Amino acid sequence: MKFDLQLLEFAKSMRHSATDAEQLMWQLLRAKQFMNLKFRRQHVILPYIVDFYCHEIGLVIELDGGQHGRDGAIEYDAERTKFLEALGLKVVRYWNHEVLNKTDEVLEGLWEACLEIKSKSTSP
């Protein structure tokens, strides 16, 4: 699969204009602080850029602001999720306000999702 240099550059620029929720989540995930898993932020999985990605377990984390609640965005996000899941990835979504106001609950849900993925990958 060919890399799209414009998409890579856009992803790089997005790292410098992260939302408050993305900044908080990155502080919690970076440097293998969460379950000793390596996460990348604003990672390209053609044709998309995902907010956070863990290659080791095939997990995508998407953080959504209010614009994701609109009709067109809901359909687009569903399409994205379907595409990523077809690649064998697990996609979890959190609202920005959840990350900012219910951080512990978000991390608990993320912990459960990671355990579920790990248990499936180790079962015969």
Cα 70 to Cα 19, 30, 73, distances in angstroms: 19, 30, 5
For the segment 6-56, what is each residue's pLDDT rounded down to a tens digit?
777 877 777 777 899 999 999 999 999 999 999 999 999 988 999 999 999
How far does CA 43 lie from the centroid of its chain?
9
CA 42, 45, 50, 56 torsion-angle sign: negative
Per-residue pLDDT, 70: 61
- Res. 1 pLDDT band, cuts 50 70 90: very low
Per-residue pLDDT, 93: 95
Cα 98 to Cα 2, 39, 66, 78, distances in angstroms: 36, 20, 12, 20
Per-residue pLDDT, 54: 97
pTM of the prediction? 0.86
For the segment 72-121, what is each residue's pLDDT rounded down to a tens digit?
678 888 999 999 999 999 999 999 999 999 999 999 999 999 999 988 87
- Asked if pLDDT for residue 5 goes beyond 80, the answer is no
Helix 20-29 × helix 103-122 angle, to 10° = 50
Name the DSSP letter for residue 56.
T
Domains of the chain: 5-17+36-122 (3.40.960.10)
Per-residue pLDDT, 65: 82
